[in-house]
């Protein structure tokens, strides 16, 4: 682990005004000269404002956290100055990463590639080194993908039904519990998202009347989506109100 004396060539030297260098040094010292997102202690380290200065965040120790430059780019997705290093950041944050930095490398990595749901990192695993789908009907983006993230239920289902996916190709920010994935595989949606990449666009056989009538038919778009459920209820309410007003006749 680096120290203040030997980490000088690995510490960000930008300044934000009088006293910033000392404040940054205290931040790095408090955090053990290691990135709080990935744990790296051999990269350029920077002090990140938890509440951005643009939003009124103060320059004080409680509002600062140590991150390496690639992980800093993960937090600042729209900042092009990090584009050259963002891909060097770990895909997953450490299990003990504080909430302000506990995010996946790209926003899309926080969504399950099969069902499209958004999950916390602890509920995701990554299928690494996904076989190329070039030569199939897939898009160019799919043929060049190197990993897919999956929620635990979808990961268990894919692990069981996609031969190219095996336990050695699954990873996470924790020990991947194969028995847990297997136990939760039947919680995976019957149908994959319409945007699911072809390697994980696998259908599960429905169980029970609801799954056969709703989850395995176009009705799922109306009843399984919160926004559509509200829209459907509003439409029904409008029709009922219209009928009631019509039955009352002219005043």
225 has pLDDT over 50: yes
d(CA 148, CA 39): 23
Neighbours of 251 (CB within 10 A): 3
More confidently predicted of 13 and 70: 70
| pTM of the shown model | 0.77
d(CA 36, CA 64): 11
The stretch 212-219 carries a mean pLDDT of 80
- Chain-wide mean pLDDT for the chain? 85
């Amino acid at each position: 682990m680096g120290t203040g004396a030997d980490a000088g060539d690995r510490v960000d030297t930008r300044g934000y005004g009088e006293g910033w260098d000392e404040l940054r040094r205290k931040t790095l010292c408090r955090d053990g000269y290691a990135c709080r997102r990935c744990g790296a202690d051999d990269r350029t380290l920077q002090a990140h404002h938890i509440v951005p200065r643009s939003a009124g965040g103060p320059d004080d120790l409680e509002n600062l956290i140590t991150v390496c430059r690639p992980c800093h780019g993960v937090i600042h997705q729209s900042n092009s100055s990090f584009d050259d290093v963002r891909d060097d950041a770990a895909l997953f944050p450490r299990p003990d990463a504080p909430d302000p930095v506990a995010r996946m490398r790209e926003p899309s990595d926080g969504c399950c590639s099969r069902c499209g749901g958004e999950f916390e990192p602890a509920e995701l695993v990554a299928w690494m080194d996904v076989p190329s789908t070039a030569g199939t009907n897939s898009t160019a983006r799919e043929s060049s993908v190197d990993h897919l993230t999956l929620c635990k239920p979808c990961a268990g289902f894919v692990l069981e039904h996609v031969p190219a996916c095996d336990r050695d190709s699954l990873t996470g920010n924790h020990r991947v519990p194969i028995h847990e994935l297997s136990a939760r595989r039947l919680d995976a949606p019957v149908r994959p998202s319409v945007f699911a990449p072809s390697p994980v666009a696998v259908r599960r056989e429905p169980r029970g009347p609801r799954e056969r009538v709703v989850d395995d038919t176009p009705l799922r778009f109306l009843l399984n989506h919160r926004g559509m459920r509200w829209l459907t209820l509003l439409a029904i309410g409008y029709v009922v109100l219209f009928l009631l007003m019509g039955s009352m006749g002219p005043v």
